[in-house]
Amino acid sequence: MAALACLSLTVLGVGGAARGSSNSGLLKVRLGGDQTETRIVLDLDRSVTGKLMADGSGGKVVVALPRIDTASDLSGGGQGLVRRWNLERGPGALKLNIDLARGAEVKRRFLLPPGDGVQTYRYVIDLKALGDPTNPSVAVAPARPRAALAPVLPTRAAERRGPRVVVIDAGHGGRDPGAQGRSASEKDITLAAALALKARLERTGRYRVVLTRATDAYVGLESRVQIARSADADLFISLHADSGPTTETRGASVYTLSERGESRVTKVLRKDDWLMPASFPGADRTVGEIILDLTQRSTRNRSAEFAQVLLENIADETTLLRRSHRDANLMVLLAPDVPAVLLEMGFINNPDDERQLSDSAHRKRLMNAVGDAVDAWFARQAKVAGR
Ligand SMILES: [Zn+2]
């Protein structure tokens, strides 16, 4: 997605005095991205529960950070969707005021705790352009009615940006039958499961569901990733059925992107640009890597979180493999900024699993459980975004 098309990253130090000072909090402000999506990263020495005070309507985004201070009032020039920004120190909170360069909305906000070798907390704000970003005549969006600016509760924040987009990927298809059971083919089971999951999710009215295939058609892996990207997916679920070396092994398992997979993403991005709209200019390679790295880390965290919720929810409906959440180096998970999991629903060459997977009532129960996991995960994301 466009978040990856970060052509440059501005690193704005808040001054050495701020670093480590007990009454500071904010260490750095970084901007990355372009006219389609712009990411603002606040490096903090402590956790924070941010509050959205203005959501982009009226040309301004304001985020209050309670109990955060910084060494000095700071401001900076813009990048991408940000015309300019400044920090305003107030009693008990620091306010980040963003003037938008064009109509945009806050797509997501989340807090990343220290980890993976990064010592700071990072509060991330992703802005997304409204309308056609290539058309400069689209000015800043008019102010919405006042009611829209009421305090943003987590669930409202989720509702406000419309339905969540879930891409369901039925593995294999067409000339690629996938794994083979005694009578069932993986490609037929994955398609039936995908359709059942789509129905379950659409019943809630909260999701827009996009299938990578709705028929017995062959769709290449690159196309599947591209479908997720152009659908602006919030979540990508790939459905498969395993095949083991013996008929004894059974149970479901969930895969997420591995470290190995991530280094492969970087390679793919460098080699050709089908995964991203623009390549990093040579001079900005290092900063490009920083923001790519950040995107992936957060994506990996969120994917792993979903994997966990998914396993909890399907545990009642199906046997699980002993080590059910595994990291995979799988091409189909290589959409680096979309949280993605691959669900192996069971072993098609195990007679018990094959019988279950071929049974539409069982599949429906299993996919209802996956739907419960999707509901639970988005509710949790909304809570995080409400920080
Ligand atoms: Zn498969």
Please give the distance, rounded to the nearest whole angstrom, from the Cα atom of residue 208 to the centre of ligand 1: 24
Please give the distance, rounded to the nearest whole angstrom, from the Cα atom of residue 213 to the centre of ligand 1: 14
Q: Which two tokens stand for residue 238?
A: 């790939």
Spatial distance between the Cα atoms of 8 and 133, rounded to a whole number of angstroms: 18
Distances (CA, A) of 224 to 207, 280, 340: 19, 23, 12
Please give the distance, rounded to the nearest whole angstrom, from the Cα atom of residue 289 to the centre of ligand 1: 31
| pLDDT mean by block of 10 residues, the chain; 387 residues | 28 33 70 78 81 87 86 75 87 88 83 62 81 50 32 35 89 91 96 98 96 94 78 89 84 68 43 29 42 62 83 81 53 61 88 96 96 94 68
Please give the distance, rounded to the nearest whole angstrom, from the Cα atom of residue 18 to the centre of ligand 1: 51
Please give the distance, rounded to the nearest whole angstrom, from the Cα atom of residue 218 to the centre of ligand 1: 13
Please give the distance, rounded to the nearest whole angstrom, from the Cα atom of residue 298 to the centre of ligand 1: 26
Bridge-partner residues for 151, per DSSP? none
Spatial distance between the Cα atoms of 51 and 54, rounded to a whole number of angstroms: 9
Please give the distance, rounded to the nearest whole angstrom, from the Cα atom of residue 343 to the centre of ligand 1: 9
Question: Do residues 292 and 6 make contact, with C-beta atoms less than 8 angstroms apart?
Answer: yes
Instruction: Count other Cβ atoms within 10 Å, centred on residue 165.
Output: 17
Tallying the residues shown for the chain, one arrives at 387
Please give the distance, rounded to the nearest whole angstrom, from the Cα atom of residue 255 to the centre of ligand 1: 12
| Cα 342 to the center of its chain, rounded Å | 15
Q: Which two tokens stand for residue 22?
A: 């007990």
Please give the distance, rounded to the nearest whole angstrom, from the Cα atom of residue 193 to the centre of ligand 1: 13
Please give the distance, rounded to the nearest whole angstrom, from the Cα atom of residue 242 to the centre of ligand 1: 6
Please give the distance, rounded to the nearest whole angstrom, from the Cα atom of residue 350 to the centre of ligand 1: 15
Spatial distance between the Cα atoms of 280 and 282, rounded to a whole number of angstroms: 6
Distances (CA, A) of 218 to 137, 170, 174, 176, 230: 41, 10, 4, 7, 19
Residue 242's Cβ-count burial label (10 Å; 0-12, 13-18, 19+) is buried
- Domain spans in the chain, listed from the N-terminal domain onward: 2-137+147-152, 164-385
Which residue carries 């970084």 as its tokens?
A: 30
Torsion sign across C-alpha atoms 80, 85, 87, 90: negative
Is the domain spanning 164-385 CATH 3.40.630.40? The answer is yes
- What is the torsion angle, in degrees rounded to the nearest 10, for the CA atoms of residue 176, residue 275, residue 114 and residue 307? -20
Please give the distance, rounded to the nearest whole angstrom, from the Cα atom of residue 329 to the centre of ligand 1: 13
Select from 208, 212, 205, 206 the least CA-distant residue to 190. Answer: 212
Question: Do residues 41 and 3 make contact, with C-beta atoms less than 8 angstroms apart?
Answer: no
The angle that helices 285-314 and 259-271 make with each other, rounded to 10 degrees, is: 140
The continuous run of DSSP H or E covering 341 comes out as strand 340-347
Q: Which two tokens stand for residue 211?
A: 């299938």
The Cβ-side half-sphere exposure at 41, using a 13 Å CA radius, reads: 24
Q: In the chain, what is the straight-line distance between the N-terminal and C-terminal CA atoms, in Å?
A: 24
Please give the distance, rounded to the nearest whole angstrom, from the Cα atom of residue 210 to the centre of ligand 1: 19
**pLDDT of amino acid 11:** 35
Instruction: Write the DSSP symbol of residue 176.
Output: B
Please give the distance, rounded to the nearest whole angstrom, from the Cα atom of residue 207 to the centre of ligand 1: 25
Q: Which two tokens stand for residue 27?
A: 């260490």
Please give the distance, rounded to the nearest whole angstrom, from the Cα atom of residue 163 to the centre of ligand 1: 29
Please give the distance, rounded to the nearest whole angstrom, from the Cα atom of residue 294 to the centre of ligand 1: 29
The angle that helices 360-385 and 186-203 make with each other, rounded to 10 degrees, is: 50
Please give the distance, rounded to the nearest whole angstrom, from the Cα atom of residue 221 to the centre of ligand 1: 12
Please give the distance, rounded to the nearest whole angstrom, from the Cα atom of residue 189 to the centre of ligand 1: 10
Bridge-partner residues for 75, per DSSP? 86
Please give the distance, rounded to the nearest whole angstrom, from the Cα atom of residue 33 to the centre of ligand 1: 35
Classify domain 2-137+147-152 at the CATH class level.
mainly beta
Name the amino acid, one letter, at 285.
Answer: R
Please give the distance, rounded to the nearest whole angstrom, from the Cα atom of residue 199 to the centre of ligand 1: 22
Please give the distance, rounded to the nearest whole angstrom, from the Cα atom of residue 49 to the centre of ligand 1: 41
Please give the distance, rounded to the nearest whole angstrom, from the Cα atom of residue 261 to the centre of ligand 1: 17
Bridge-partner residues for 25, per DSSP? 69
Radius of gyration of the chain (CA): 22
Please give the distance, rounded to the nearest whole angstrom, from the Cα atom of residue 154 to the centre of ligand 1: 36
